[in-house]
Amino acid sequence: MLSNLKGYYRPKSIPEALALLEKNSGSILVIAGGTKLVLTENNVVQELVDITCLGLDFIKEESGITRIGATTRLQQIVESPLLTQYTDGLLPAAAALCYKSRQIRNAATLGGELLSTTTLSPLYCALLALQGQVRLAGNEEFALAMNIFLNRKGLAGGLLMETVIPNLERNTFTGLSYICSHANLPIICAAARVSIRKGCFENVKIAITGSGKVPQRAHEVEDYLESRECSEPNVIKTAEEAYNNYEPISDHLASSDFRKEASRIVVKKALNNCLTKWEESF
């Protein structure tokens, strides 16, 4: 409950929203779907800025990139033919993992999920593998790569506008693998994106949850697999490399030891998903 709430605003334009946010001293909260707000207990927030009227609810493909507005609902991402096509199904699958309930996905927004990202977020994990960027507006508009944005979430006076994803090139495939708890919450998740040319892995991108404050790219694992022949033995060796480099957290869902052992499984399965799609493309 927001016990000290004194004002609610619904701006009709980006400049109007930014003007409201410029006076932010930590007492203003931006909302859209409001799914996180339901469980909030906060006596600091005094004003709410509702951005649902700013026209940021869209999924568009333009000139080789796919753009997703900040107030786009997660269920729209799950059901989007464009995202199924241009992310090889990776982003819709990750969005479906965020909440078991479709009703919550119908309310939760992309921007809300990114700004409240945890170490176990499958959506953020997928965006890392897809090399997504976020576009923000403030005194000026600028874009940040996902792995930089995660360190700059506290943008005073700024507004998250959209996420931009480069469309996958030909012969590029994705895979998503996860293990859930008894409550159907993802304990660990791995997302992979690889190009396969002349029978070898290229442009390898692998992200994994459960390490650090947010999901992380597994750069050492990517470097290991780069330019290697597409084969089951190399996938197994890469999964072992993931195990060797992965330093997971412990929490109420799983121990660090469990997650470390599970890293072999999810990385191997994510890469095998890519190989299966490649074989089916012939």
Q: What is the DSSP letter of 108?
A: -
Strand, coil or helix: 30 = strand
Percent of the chain with pLDDT over 90: 64
Q: What is the pLDDT of residues 122-133, one digit of tens each?
A: 999 999 999 999
Q: What is the pLDDT of residues 162-207, one digit of tens each?
A: 999 999 999 999 999 999 987 778 999 999 999 999 999 999 999 9
pLDDT of residue 152: 56
Q: What is the average per-residue pLDDT within 115-141?
A: 88
Cα maximum dimension of the chain: 62
Architecture of domain 59-166: 2-Layer Sandwich (3.30)
CA–CA dist 224, 31 (Å, integer): 42
8-state DSSP, 42: B
Residue 67 tokens read as 């753009």
Angle between the N-to-C axes of helices 232-245 and 256-280, in degrees from 0 to 180, rounded to the nearest 10: 150
- pLDDT given at position 151: 58
Which CATH topology does 172-280 take?
Answer: Enolase-like; domain 1 (3.30.390)
Q: What are phi and psi of 190, to 5 degrees?
A: -130, 135
Confidence check: pLDDT of 154 > 60 = no
Ramachandran quadrant class, 34 (left: phi over 0; alpha: psi -120 to 50; beta: rest) = left
The confidence score (pLDDT) of residue 28 equals 76
pLDDT in tens, 251-274: 999 999 999 999 999 999 999 999
